[in-house]
Structure 1
Amino acid sequence: MAELPRSPITVLGLGAMGRAFTREFLGGGHPTTVWNRTPGKDGELVAAGAAAAATIGEAVRASRLVVVCLLDHRSVHEALDPVAGALEGRAVVNLTSTTPDEARELAAWAKGHGIDYLDGGIMATPDMIGQPPASLLYSGSRTVFDEHGPALRLLGSADYFGEDAGLASLYDFALLAGMYLMFAGFSHGAAMMRSAGVPAAEFAERAVPWLTAMAQTIPFGTTAVDTGDYTTDVQSLDFNKAAVDAIVRASRDAGVGLDAIAPVKALIDRQVADGHGAESFNRIFEGLKPVSAPPLG
């Protein structure tokens, strides 16, 4: 039996990520139309079978599904506002990095123009797209997610977080915050070791297994964070303050800047100063959580 033709897809934005999306859609058998704000990035994709649109209007009219991967929130509006009429009745999946509130604003804009909108966060680098480690997070229109799920899963695993268009973005940026702080912590440690002439590559051989092991302990602290009960009989904030204070002294002795470790020290110092030194390190969460956080559950 002959395979049914796959639905057409349009990709707006041909940076490294947009080009990776296009290659996966083409590989999955979807006729794919591409458009970029500046010319010259579609040659390889056209050679692989993509259709190049001369204008964004032509691009969005070519497909019922339009995948957007541009620079930022403003660039999405600059691209889509002039073709809002042509997008009416179509599905837009926005994979541009936008804040949760920006994603919600785009969802409201799309609804006002009769556009079905799904927002997404990309937990992958361009070279990971289409490979098992790639994960994409979605929220917004359930209809778009269900109807176009097979195509979206060509890019990586796909998880849906509900109708709030900003929730996928919130997960995305929260996960990235943890990643960037981890990388900053590694850089601080590598700077300390450089004072003794140890290369970063050599330090990484010990840092990676250590950080991996410590990451496995994260779930053990979540009950304290979620319940607000930070009682502990091991490694209290007083204990951790002594350790971090020593790290700060060692860093200064090595001539290393404190930009990465100073915020951690400040979080600990604040909780200790408020009388919580006997409680667990997880209590630093209290210095970070939103003042008007909604109840859990």
Structure 2
Amino acid sequence: MSATPVTLIGLGPMGQAMVRALLAAGHPVTVWNRTAARAEGVVADGATLAATPADAVAASDLVVLSLTDYAAMYDILGTATEALSGRTLVNLSSDTPDRAREAATWAASHGATFLTGGVMTPAPMVGTEEAYVYYSGPTEIFAAHRATLARIGAPRHLGDDPGLAPLMYLAHLDVFLTSLSALLHGTALLGSAGITAKDAVGELMSTLAGIPAMLRAGADIGTQIDAGEHPGDLSTVTMMGATADHIAVATAAAGLDPALPHAVRAQYHRAIAAGHGKENWTRTIDAIRAPRLDA
């Protein structure tokens, strides 16, 4: 049986990596990109460059989008809507859950089925055993294309709601981006005392790397949060909040941007004010779930 033809629109580093992974697995791949020169490398590897977005869509029943956001999808496919009927669009671009749901409705209005996705790997890892991708949208459509999509990374289907994959992607990036900001904040804090960024990052990376083991050493915090249980036998809101206070004070003394430590400190202060000082730090999720409107 011949491999399924695939069209891929958007040839940034991620899009190019996807094309090469599909080509390596024997799939005929048609590509299109606003800047045609970006296609030269993948065309040399065996992809076919379409002249227009409509031609690209018409070339395959399965159309994968790797774009900056969903607005780019409308810009590009707005001139190709007649070619969409009967196609499956798989949008692996980053955007919000609500915009993904709106896009699914838009695709359906033009006769296309729609899957959303979030690629949880950098471009160099696409197509490797370590790569995985979240998807959401109609289960039967996902099942029909699962084998092809697996060439990009192990597919994980979250359900029929097209907003779920973007939400999961953003949740991962929420943790990732906040961690990166914390790493740079700690680096700047140490830099205020003359410690080089090289030495600071080397020291601080051990904390980032050690967090999974620290969390596994205690109870299953996810299960406890679901149950509304926050036992403070290993750490408490008051104890962690005191450290958050000290970080904020040290930040001010160093003349650094206080936004990040102030945001963290505020969550502990609200938990303490609500009478939860003796409970676990996970109790601060209440402040995240119900933010103060005047904050």
Q: Same fold (TM over 0.5)?
A: yes
What does residue range 29-40 of structure 1 map to in structure 2 within 5 Å? Answer: 29-40=26-37
What's 1:233 paired with?
233
CA distance in 2, matches of 1:222, 1:21: 33
Aligned: 1:177 with 2:167: no
What's 1:279 paired with?
279
SS at match of 1:67: strand
CA distance in 1, matches of 2:224, 2:214: 13
Change (3 A) 1:130 1:290: farther
159, 164, 187: which one aligns with 2:161? 164
Which deviates more from structure 2 when the two are superposed, residues 29-38 or residues 254-263? 254-263
Q: Deviations over 1:85-127 (max 9, x none)?
A: 2111111111111211111111112222221211101111212
* Deviation for aligned residue 1:31: 0.8
Q: CA RMSD in A?
A: 1.7
* Ranges in structure 2 where 5+ consecutive residues have no aligned partner: none
CA distance in 2, matches of 1:234, 1:68: 46
SS at match of 2:7: strand
Letter in 1 for 2:237: L
What's 1:44 paired with?
41
What does residue range 80-159 of structure 1 map to in structure 2 within 5 Å? Answer: 80-159=77-156
CA distance in 2, matches of 1:197, 1:130: 43
Aligned: 1:195 with 2:192: yes
Change (3 A) 1:164 1:41: same
Aligned: 1:67 with 2:64: yes
Which deviates more from structure 2 when the two are superposed, residues 5-14 or residues 76-85? 76-85
SS at match of 1:92: strand
* Deviation for aligned residue 1:200: 2.3
What's 2:269 paired with?
269
What's 1:210 paired with?
207
Percentage of pairs with the same residue = 36
* Deviation for aligned residue 1:249: 2.0
Which deviates more from structure 2 when the two are superposed, residues 184-193 or residues 198-207? 198-207
CA distance in 2, matches of 1:31, 1:266: 54
Which deviates more from structure 2 when the two are superposed, residues 270-279 or residues 18-27? 270-279
CA distance in 2, matches of 1:255, 1:42: 47
14, 19, 25: which one aligns with 2:16? 19
Question: Does the 8 A contact of 2:53 with 2:79 survive in 1?
Answer: no
* Deviation for aligned residue 1:177: 0.2
* Ranges in structure 1 where 5+ consecutive residues have no aligned partner: 292-297
What's 1:7 paired with?
4
Letter in 1 for 2:200: F
CA distance in 1, matches of 2:42, 2:241: 55
Letter in 1 for 2:66: C
Q: Deviations over 1:116-174 (max 9, x none)?
A: 21110111121221123322100002233222222211111110011111101110001
SS at match of 2:263: helix
Instruction: Compute the TM-score of the two structures, normalised by the length of structure 2.
Output: 0.92
What's 1:289 paired with?
289
Instruction: Compute the TM-score of the two structures, normalised by the length of structure 1.
Output: 0.91
Aligned length: 288
What's 2:224 paired with?
224
* Deviation for aligned residue 1:290: 5.8
CA distance in 2, matches of 1:264, 1:94: 34
Letter in 2 for 1:108: T
CA distance in 1, matches of 2:28, 2:239: 60
Letter in 2 for 1:57: A
SS at match of 2:210: helix
CA distance in 2, matches of 1:150, 1:226: 34
46, 55, 59: which one aligns with 1:58? 55
* Deviation for aligned residue 1:223: 3.0
SS at match of 2:60: coil
* Deviation for aligned residue 1:81: 2.8
What's 1:294 paired with?
none
CA distance in 2, matches of 1:116, 1:69: 17
Letter in 1 for 2:194: G
* Deviation for aligned residue 1:283: 0.8
* Deviation for aligned residue 1:51: 0.6
* Deviation for aligned residue 1:84: 2.1
